[in-house]
Amino acid sequence: MRSIVFAKRVIKEMLRDPLSYIFCLGFPIVMLIVMTVIDRSIPNEAGMTIFHIQSLLPGIEVFGLTFIMLFTALQVSKDRSTAFLIRLYASPMRPIDFVCGYTLAISIIAVCQVLITFGVGFVMGQFIDYSFHIGYLIAGMAVLIPSALMFIGIGMFFGTLLNDKAAPGICSIIITVVSMLGGIWMDIDMIGGTITKVAHALPFYQGVNGARMAVLGNFGELAKPLCIILIYAFLIYCASALVFGRKMKSDLT
């Protein structure tokens, strides 16, 4: 119950910020439209399939989740810098209540982002003569849930560890890493070598790859990326709860 009450407050705070609408909900749609227009102008002879909407849609959505991470870090770091959270520290709330409250509130925004982006992608597919399989789209959205939780966990970790000036900078670095090694804008497997090995070891590539497999109906190899993402998400949440608990004690002393 305490987590739910706290989650309602977090949702209200994030909805007051117009940038949350622009980046968390609007930006993935704009990127999807722009990249689809670019894909339509690329000759078929080029063999560039990564910008086809069936591959682009899952990648764009994972990229959109990085902005959920950024706003999570901003929200947590801003709360820590005010007297509001310090007063809550004196309440019966435990660190796990704060973590669950943030997760519940921001997960709702992340789910809205996924639903809107996939809905727009489905409609766009009709205009460019590509029909998404509804069941596969739903599976793709489900596969993105662990990635969403992982990015929320990363945002809470850096929002707890750093202030509201430093946290966005670190999150911007992670956004850049996701762009370069997530396989969103390029085929990482074609590069080969160390870069491909590093990308495969990170959860960002696995999140994009897993969502693409689901959207295309390739469920046979889906277990590996899902397991990797879930392991990362679990470890990140454990670290977030541990850091939040320690910061909570240090702020009270």
Domain map (residue ranges) of the chain:
2-252
Task: Give the pLDDT of residue 5.
Answer: 78
pTM: 0.90
The whole-number pLDDT of residue 89 equals 64
Cβ–Cβ < 8 Å for 227, 150: no
What is the full per-residue pLDDT of the chain (253 aa) written as tens digits?
A: 677 877 887 877 777 777 676 777 778 888 888 888 887 777 776 666 777 888 889 999 999 999 999 988 988 888 777 766 666 666 667 777 778 888 888 898 899 899 999 999 899 888 887 888 899 999 999 999 999 999 999 998 998 888 878 888 899 899 999 988 888 888 887 887 888 888 889 999 999 999 999 998 888 888 899 999 999 999 998 888 888 777 766 665 5
pLDDT of 45 reads: 62
Supply the DSSP string of 63-127, one letter for each residue. HHHHHHHHHHHHHHHHHHHSHHHHHHHTSS--HHHHHHHHHHHHHHHHHHHHHHHHHHHHHHHHH
- Classify residue 220 as exposed, middle or buried by CB count within 10 Å of its CB (0-12, 13-18, 19+): exposed
Contact 132, 138 (CB under 8 A): no
CB atoms inside a 10 Å sphere around CB 135? 10
Spatial CB neighbours of 67, under 8 Å, sequence gap ≥ 6: 23, 24, 27, 175
Q: Which long-range contacts (CB under 8 A, 24 or more apart) does 18-23 make?
A: 19/71, 20/71, 20/109, 23/67, 23/70, 23/71
pLDDT at 82 (0 to 100): 73
Q: What is the pLDDT of residue 138?
A: 93
